[in-house]
Copies of this chain bind each other. A is one copy, B any other.
């Protein structure tokens, strides 16, 4: 086994980690075919069964997908909504409308105590804030703040965020970092003033309740790298999560 560098990890875990790095490094773009299980086994000095187990875990993690008789392929980077969708309340089987993303701005500020703790940073550590607006049929339905540790994503350019596939896509493409959701919190709140104006909920209308989402995401090594806060208008739509 050419791989084994004396780490006391099972071989299939080492294979998995190695492939993870190569995927994150951009060796295979979305829908590119990986080498066959036998080729990988040969190349990495493991048996086909061991490679298979590693690939299976990467498929389960959403990094790859398989097609019987054809091969194993790199999965596209998930969008900022992940598995969640906005659907009509009560209709679980509905086909979701795609949401249009609008990049509002990139700013910097310092972490509050909560956020610093969640992201395992020191107090007042510098953060990047990426603000995005989501529209459905032209009407604003959600507002999003992604907070990232500034040091981990030095040089992040606002221009990258305008046309791209969202925050997760940009981070994967520019920094080789693939995020996955660790935990989500849901609350009902009265929509704050600033968010209300950005979402186009104006003046006359009585106060509006909004779904407030907090999300903590981490890279594949488990380091927390994103705190996201999202306000959703849910008087007509419901935030829908499908389970495994």
Contact = CB atoms under 8 A, between A and B. Distances in A.
B90 A214 contact: yes
Contacts of A190: 209
B186 A186 contact: yes
A43 interface: no
Contacts of A181: 243
A242 to B, nearest CB: 5
A182 B90 contact: no
Interface in A93-120: 93, 114-115, 117-118
9 contacts: A90-B185, A92-B182, A184-B241, A185-B240, A186-B234, A187-B234, A187-B237, A188-B188, A209-B210
A189 interface: yes
How many copies make up the complex? 2
Contacts of A241: 183-186, 241
Given A180-B243, A211-B211, A185 B92 contact: yes
Interface string A207-244: 00111101010000000000000001010011111111
A190 B207 CA distance: 10
Interface residues of A, number: 37
A2 to B, nearest CB: 26
B238 A187 contact: yes
B243 A182 contact: yes
A68 B23 CA distance: 32
Contacts of A234: 186-189
Q: By CB atoms of chain B within 10 A, which of A93, A182, A241 has the most?
A: A241
A127 interface: no
A48 B238 CA distance: 46
Q: By CB atoms of chain B within 10 A, which of A90, A118, A189 has the most?
A: A90
A91 interface: yes
Nearest to A90: B114
A76 interface: no
